Amino acid sequence: MSSLLSIQDLKVAFRTGKVDGVQQRALAVKGVSFDIPENSTVALVGESGSGKSVTAMSILNLLPDNAERSGQILFQGRDLLTTPLRQLQGIRGKDIACVFQDPMSSLNPVFTVAQQLSEPLIKHLGLTPRQALARAEELLNEVGIPEPKRRLHAYPHEMSGGQQQRVMIAMALACEPKLLIADEPTTALDVTIQRQVMDLMRKLKDKMRMSMLFISHDLGVVGEISDHVVVMRHGEIREKAPVADIFKAPQDAYTKALLACRPSLTDNPARLMVIDDHIAGQSAKTEGKAKDPNAPVVLQARGLKKSFWFKEGLFGKKEFKAVKGVSFDLKKGHTLGVVGESGSGKTTMGLTLLRLHEPTGGEVLFDGQDLLKIGGAAWQKMRRRIQVVFQNPYASLNPRFTIEQTLLEPMQVHKIGANDAERLAKAKALLKKVDLPEAALGKYPHEFSGGQRQRIAIARCLTLDPEVLVLDEAVSALDVSVQAQVLNLLKDLQDELGLSYIFISHDLAVVRFISDEVLVMQHGDVVEQAPVQELMSAPKQEYTRKLLGAIPRGYEGAAA
């Protein structure tokens, strides 16, 4: 099979400034070579920082100005590294197109869908505006967006995450490219939308007979969509092989470790293996601390409701019921998993519990008091005892605060500790507890990886000695090895401190590992609630079976 694109000895370095007059460079990609055959999908796999996205963005030179590339990138015999910018702009979007992870940062918020879809059609194919508009409607129909004619005039913020990603795919495929670069296109999507987007990309790839470079840290997804896999770590290729060989007989210890880090839908170890554990030859811990079935209930929700109102007409209002009467009991030292698709109401329910959204009905009983009715000093005191960890640690940590300021501020506000020296000692102890060095205190959030930032966010919650943590998609943005570290940390903290968790997620494999009971939500309603083992092995509702059936299961799942 002939190669559409061939990467040969690619090196990418970033200039980082001068020291004593000498230019410093950080080498991100260290001599990578692989081919993408015609009409096939090659997956680039690795942890954050492995160099996979830098490698992919080098193809069209979508890198910062301080990047330096060497080697060869041959596309149909032409070296893209030496192609002049004007010619490269003619290739971008027409012969090689990209789909990125976050459609909201890739789509222009002030242009309609029609304007954004029409632009490449007019520029590269020479269509008239009327022809481009007609073709744009066809593209929306091809990617499965309902009412495509009406959606043409929508702005990105008026569409769901899955619909935005479909628009991105439609834009990328507008000129029928020969190669599609898909950089983590399904990471932020829930399992059912992820399944739809994967099936769509696979169908369009076969229909248009194009090749695809699929970048992901999720081996479950990779196993279902790719023909060949290239595994990267620290800017180097550790292994490359057909997808069946990677899953059935991986040769490199790092590849084996990546596969072992994934939470399973069948086995439930007490701790997840992390990369270093597996490479060191350690075995999984199968027995953890037993949960007390008679533990006292610390938090009760009864008929919790939340509605939003929107203007309709000149004077009218329309009610949208986001949460329609949720009830549950949360025991001390236990975890309640909350799952559902985007728009199911699970995050709104969690924020309403914390009164970050004011409820429209129901009650939340905590230590005999209804959290939804108390105010003033009583509410301030209760807020110490129930804390939240958000999905995005980039947004939830103040970029202008050092880690020391981040940890000391909540203790100062709530008057924890006799003085700053005592608070600093507690901050140091908490950093140790979340496996970060004391030297981190003087640094800023941007100096840490995503996983380290999430550990800092957890440490900040613990400064107030809470009893309940609401974790809203707290590990969904992390790659599998870092995700395993954070999940193990949460279990350790629960065992040590007796914490109770409300764990909101769209990843049922993660929910199976961390939860004792699961609550399934759809359109603001609870459709099923059961102990985790019972729900996973014998779901009663069709919606729950649909969620379980949509989970990527890797190469075995694709072959089954």
pLDDT of residue 304: 95
The residue type at 381: K
Burial group, residue 256, by CB count within 10 angstroms (0-12, 13-18, 19+): middle
Query: How far apart are alpha carbons 63 and 68 in whole angstroms?
Result: 9
**Of 1.20.1530.20, 3.40.50.720, 1.10.443.10, 3.40.50.300, which CATH number belongs to 3-243?**
3.40.50.300
pLDDT of residue 272: 84
pLDDT of residue 556: 54
Mapped onto helix, strand or coil, the DSSP state of residue 175 is coil
Nearest to 515 by CA among 499, 502, 534: 502
Burial group, residue 349, by CB count within 10 angstroms (0-12, 13-18, 19+): buried
Query: How far apart are alpha carbons 529 and 539 in whole angstroms?
Result: 9
Query: How far apart are alpha carbons 361 and 377 in whole angstroms?
Result: 23
Nearest to 283 by CA among 273, 293, 275, 270: 273
Residue 317 tokens, joined: 């209002």
Contact 340, 347 (CB under 8 A): no
pLDDT of residue 70: 96
pLDDT of residue 185: 81
Which residue spans of the chain are classified as CATH 3.40.50.300? Answer: 3-243
pTM of the predicted structure, to 2 decimals = 0.80
pLDDT of residue 286: 57
Which parts of the chain sit beneath pLDDT 50?
557-560
